[in-house]
Chains A and B, each alone.
Chain A
Amino acid sequence: MAFNPKPDDDQVLVEKKSCARVIILNRTRQLNALSFYMVSRLLEIFLEDEGNPDIMLVIMKGNGRAFCAGGDVSAVVRDVKGGDWRLGAKFFENEFKLNYLMATYSKPQVSILNGIVMGGGAGASIHGRFRVATEKTVFAMPETELGLFPDVGSTYFLSRLPGFFGEYVGLTGARLDGAEMLTCGLATHFVPSSKLSLLEESLYKVESNDATTVSAIIDKYSEQPSLKENSVYHRMDAINRCFSRNTVEEILYYLEMEAMNNKADNWASTTIQTLKKASPTSLKVFLKLIRKARLQGIGQCLITDYRVVCHVLQGHYSKDFFEGCRAILMDKDRKPKWEPSRLELVNDRHVDCYFAKLDDEGWKDLELPERLNNLPPYVTSKL
């Protein structure tokens, strides 16, 4: 466990406002990055509140300028380097169980994304029933530049975005603002940050856990923001043409064609540059992940994510995750040396191996928490 000067229980503030549970992520110096403690505590709260008839909904938000910038992967790396990779795996095990619980929760979760929401932060919010974006929201799944991959069951919701936007967002780690999130469906509502306190006050008055009631309340404060002029969302045709391809190599090929045919717009060449900086192994693994996830329920997605992340931690086929964390998070030279260093050098059979069960003594597939029988229909459709 990471050493922290503050007392741990400060990292998650828990309040109750009549029938609403309010959870505030409070690790502002680390942009609310989820520590092992925070994940465990959130799991605890969600499990307890499910059986509590006095709680009708859950509101989640973050202190400071972020909602949550991700899982605390530096801590995971420290744990793995310290000894057994399985220690690092435990973090992901808890995090994915939390993601599953949030995705299948019988009460609506409203996440107020008033700031940075990335990686693990997306896992802790997008699976919930309502996601409120603001003009300050910045969303991204930047894991491929770290040698990891968009985990936390993100392949479930990314694969269900329009066309092949999910492939684009996951492979490139592209940043999206609140308006873009609303347009593609990652966010369910857009509320200007000035109206957030009023929104929250109204939410505290909710007396039923019926999602339509909650939605109607948020609707009152919602707006329809317009997309910025150079929004990547205006390029859906090109995104679909390129990111629907069968392999990462073909995606790059078609991006190059796009760049050649459209010299006035530098979107394609910027995208190519971004992809070239990411770990080739991560790109191939994620592409296979999202294509499978499109045809699976949330439980299966998380089970697969857990298998892949364990292989990543075990480091048998590639140590890119550790190199990525070193270059981006620790030494901050931003010059990771990926191994294999190019797409052509990545062995496709190794990519397949990431999806298999681990051949390790005592390792087991992720065990998902039992869910109740009378879940709302918007939940059963995810299973």
Chain B
Amino acid sequence: MDNDNRRASRRTEVLSNHLLPRPHTTTTLLSPSNCLSYSPPELSSSNPVSFDTSVMRSLLDGHNLDDRDWLFGLIVQSPLFNRQERGGRVFVSVDYNHTMEQQREETMRRIGYLLDRGVFRGWLTGDGPQEELRKLALHEVISMYDHSLAVKIGVHIFLWGGAVKFLGTKRHHDKWLRATENYELKGCFAMTELGHGSNVRGVETVTTYDSRSGEFVINTPCESAQKYWIGGAANHATHTIVFSQLYINGGNQGVHAFICPIRDSSGNVCPNIRIAECGHKIGLNGVDNGRIWFDNVRIPRENLLNSVADVSPRGEYLSSIKNVDQRFAAFLAPLTSGRVTIASSAVYISKIGLSIAIRYALTRRAFSMTPNGPEVLLLDYPSHQQRLLPLLAKIYAMSFAGLELKMMYVNRTPESNKEIHIVSSAYKATFTWNNMRTLQECREACGGQGVKSENRIGPFKGEFDVHSTFEGDNNVLMQQISKALLGEYIVCQTKKQPFRGLGLEHMNNPVPVLPSQLRSSILRSSEFQLDLFHLRERDLLGRFVAEVSQYQAQGESKESAFNLVSPLPCFVNYSFIDSLPYSLYVLPELSSCRGLGQSFLRTSNTENLHRGGVEGASWFIEGCLGSVEVVICLDFCG
């Protein structure tokens, strides 16, 4: 009976709780996690900045700071760039929800706005290093906002416009340059074909000359000859540069460049030209890449870009350069600007990725070290530091090296062209590969947030992946280095003259001697590290030359000798890459900048040890230092 009473009163209590409103008692069992209380890292008082960051910015960006700020302002203040205001701050980035067609239309609208505000003024009609540097600076800002926008503009100005400027003569400049700058036409660059990308000399498009009508006739003879991946061709371009074999009187004169209209001003494709879409890509969907077939298309004789070679009205082939190889090399000159801008933009994208990942690591917390203690910031873990900070150090080195390359490029002379070709190839390959590795690491370091498109790192991976294969496949470019170094070595050896250029001057000095006692203070010193890189380059280059010469003495051609000594050329390439930026970016200049210089030196020396440790490990193990202990020291010095 008692039990029943208790059950009944309990039941009554439950029912009355349902019917009577009771004041809400807030439970304080849960409190918000510290992880979610966001405070921007720069506000933390524990690590105040010890130097003037505007000086650092000035060193890293190097040039045209005001122009960059102006363009940032143009982008940020316009509604065309998908401006979002979040928590009082303004963010601009492309809208990742848009379709391919929408992205393409948006890209054209943005170009129209920038054109209207005078951004492209002087990009082709201007001359001299100052104008070029301004152009490069503005293009870098654009590529930081959106790669599609940068590439769409790059194809029109740097590739189409560059070809007209550097491969054409006065008549082409007068007719086309200003019109290009003002977007009165839209240009593209038809070099790559379905069957030939890296091997430009093997393109199959054929152009013949009709002396009766004074016209060139361009033809796509087979499916492998169709132009492919031509940026701008699918939707908008009105004109293109066509790279094609030139047959004069039945004889093949090699690859030449021609101007060919492909659409009229109303946007209709010209007769005898077929254009198709390349389709959706893993990135760069704001660029309308197209395929082009030429069906005996006739163009005036004047459309041959004739700075290197020409055809007379009667059909005679004329060229001031007799050597076919040299003539071909001259045609590839406009591509150097592409490699310079790609190397630069790869560095900027790595910087953005690293900034995002490092700032995230300075605010995100995970796991406590002590029971009931606060969770620890990601960047407080040595393992997290080892993932991100060496990449940061590396990007500083690449940033300065890239600046040096830009300066070399804008101040180029015919004598320096060869060195610029090698250095730009080396940097383009290295920086773009590094960018992809950096972005992957940054993506992982941001965990789930790295998967969110809005956080930029993920989309960068798709957008910039193509960097490693367009404008020169990285592996092919790297081969240029070992070929050039081999050539240089043999020339200097046979003519018994000192090494000059390509960073080989150290080979003129006596062989560096490494101390037998390797204390950590020695390992960290710039002199030791420089000696190490130089020793490695000297040794690898020497062995490479010796082995190639040996095979050649046995009757092998140079090309097959290269294949036979593989992977030695690769090691030579890497040793070149590693020592060049170090000697290029002037450390004494940096250390004169109080505080700032010291921070740079510390980070760069650390990074060099890491680089030497990971990528050069095989060389070290092969016995030049002969001590496993050293390898371990190098790997762990962080």
Contact = CB atoms under 8 A, between A and B. Distances in A.
A147 B77 CA distance: 28
A179 B42 CA distance: 37
B118 A250 contact: yes
Contact of A378 (B42, B67, B69, B87): B87
Given A163-B78, A378-B88, A380-B43, A244 B69 contact: no
B4 interface: no
Interface in B46-85: 52, 66-67, 69-70, 72-74, 76-78
A294 B90 CA distance: 10
A150 to B, nearest CB: 16
B70 A291 contact: yes
Most chain A CB neighbours (cut-off 10 Å) among B69, B87, B118: B69
A382 B77 contact: no
B88 A381 contact: yes
A292 interface: yes
Contacts of B69: 291-292, 294-295
A295 B116 CA distance: 23
A378 B78 CA distance: 23
A246 B70 contact: yes
A245 interface: yes
Interface string A238-255: 001100111000100000
B73 A291 contact: yes
B87 A383 contact: no
A5 interface: no
A380 B74 CA distance: 25
Interface residues of A, number: 26
A373 B43 CA distance: 8
A163 B77 contact: yes
A359 B77 CA distance: 35
A86 interface: no
B28 interface: no
A288 B66 contact: yes
Contacts of B40: 380, 383
Nearest to A304: B54
B73 A294 contact: yes
Interface residues of B, number: 23
A164 B79 CA distance: 12
B89 interface: yes
B87 A381 contact: yes
A382 B116 CA distance: 31
A163 B76 CA distance: 9
Contacts of B43: 371, 380, 383
Interface string A280-296: 00000000100110110
Interface string A197-241: 000000000000000000000000000000000000000000011
B87 A244 contact: no
Q: State the majority secondary structure of interface residues on A.
A: loop
Query: Which of A163, A370, A380 has the most chain B CB within a 10 Å cutoff?
Result: A380
B117 interface: yes
B76 A294 contact: yes
B88 A295 contact: no
A160 interface: yes
A53 interface: no
B27 interface: no
A72 B332 CA distance: 65
Contacts of A373: 39
Contacts of B88: 377-378, 381-382
A166 B181 CA distance: 30
Contacts of A377: 87-88
A245 B39 CA distance: 36
A100 B52 CA distance: 20
Quick one: which of A164, A294, A378 has the most chain B CB within 10 A? A294
B118 A381 contact: no
B488 to A, nearest CB: 42
A245 B117 contact: yes
Contact of B67 (A164, A245, A246, A357): A246
Contacts of A370: 45
A244 to B, nearest CB: 6
Nearest to B70: A246
B377 to A, nearest CB: 15
A380 B70 contact: no
B74 A294 contact: no
A245 B77 contact: no
A241 B113 CA distance: 10
Contacts of B67: 246
A39 to B, nearest CB: 26
A245 B72 contact: no
Contacts of A371: 43
Nearest to B78: A163
A358 to B, nearest CB: 13
A269 to B, nearest CB: 22
Nearest to B77: A163
Given A164-B77, A250-B118, A381 B66 contact: no
Given A377-B88, A380-B43, A381-B87, A244 B117 contact: yes
A288 B70 CA distance: 9
Contacts of A240: 77
A67 to B, nearest CB: 24
B55 to A, nearest CB: 10
A162 B73 CA distance: 11
A291 B117 contact: no
Contact of A160 (B42, B70, B74, B90): B90
Nearest to A382: B88
Contacts of B74: 244
B547 to A, nearest CB: 54
Contacts of A288: 66
B136 to A, nearest CB: 16
Contacts of B72: 294-295
A377 B116 CA distance: 37
B63 to A, nearest CB: 13
Nearest to B37: A374
B66 A291 contact: yes
Contacts of A241: 116
Nearest to B40: A380
Given A381-B87, A383-B43, A244 B77 contact: yes
A339 to B, nearest CB: 24
A198 B52 CA distance: 49
B533 to A, nearest CB: 37
A245 B121 CA distance: 12
A104 to B, nearest CB: 10
A250 B67 CA distance: 14
Given A380-B40, A380-B43, A245 B90 contact: no
Interface in A171-213: none
Interface in B1-45: 39-40, 42-43, 45
A371 B89 CA distance: 19
A371 B40 CA distance: 13
A294 B70 CA distance: 10
A5 B45 CA distance: 45
Interface in A71-97: none
B155 to A, nearest CB: 25
A295 B75 CA distance: 12
Contacts of B66: 288, 291
Nearest to B66: A288
Given A294-B76, A383-B42, 11 more contacts: A159-B73, A162-B77, A244-B73, A245-B118, A246-B70, A288-B66, A291-B69, A292-B69, A295-B73, A377-B87, A380-B40
29 contacts: A162-B77, A163-B78, A164-B77, A244-B74, A244-B77, A245-B118, A246-B118, A288-B66, A291-B70, A291-B73, A292-B69, A294-B69, A294-B72, A294-B76, A295-B72, A295-B73, A370-B45, A371-B43, A373-B39, A377-B87, A377-B88, A378-B87, A378-B88, A380-B40, A380-B43, A381-B87, A383-B40, A383-B42, A383-B43
Interface of B: 39-40, 42-43, 45, 52, 66-67, 69-70, 72-74, 76-78, 87-90, 116-118
Q: Top 4 A-B pairs ranked by shortest CB distance?
A: A381-B88, A291-B69, A381-B89, A381-B87
